[in-house]
Amino acid sequence: MAVIIQASRQFSYAVAKMMAKGEGAMEATLVKAYVCKAAEWVTREALQIHGGYGYAEEYPVSRYWVDARVLSIFEGADETLAIKVIARRLVAAAKA
């Protein structure tokens, strides 16, 4: 779980540097898709570790799962982002 979190963090930092230079629009979409999936996986594993308590609303891990799940829905679903941004950029690059 720590490896996935650190990889997500480093990917985000690298894309942020690109964005600061006015580049990396497609990479920003890629990092959003990756980090959302990573957050879901990590919180699902955390729920598994906590067992039945992971689903109890009294424990923060339950809320983390709900928050992580909604990340891929807000600001455009991952599937929509993949079609609208990533696929279009890849097709345009292939034509060039």
pLDDT tens for each residue of 24-56: 888 888 898 899 899 999 999 999 999 888 888
Marked catalytic residue, from 27, 40, 45, 75: 75
The answer to whether residue 9 scores a pLDDT higher than 90 is yes
Known active-site residue 75: yes
Q: What is the 3-state secondary structure of 25-92? A: HHHHHHHHHHHHHHHHHHHHHHHHHHHHHHHCCCCHHHHHHHHHHHHCCCCCCHHHHHHHHHHHHHHH
What pTM did the predictor assign?
0.76
At the topology level, CATH places domain 2-95 in Butyryl-CoA Dehydrogenase, subunit A; domain 3 (1.20.140)
Q: Where are the domains of the chain?
A: 2-95
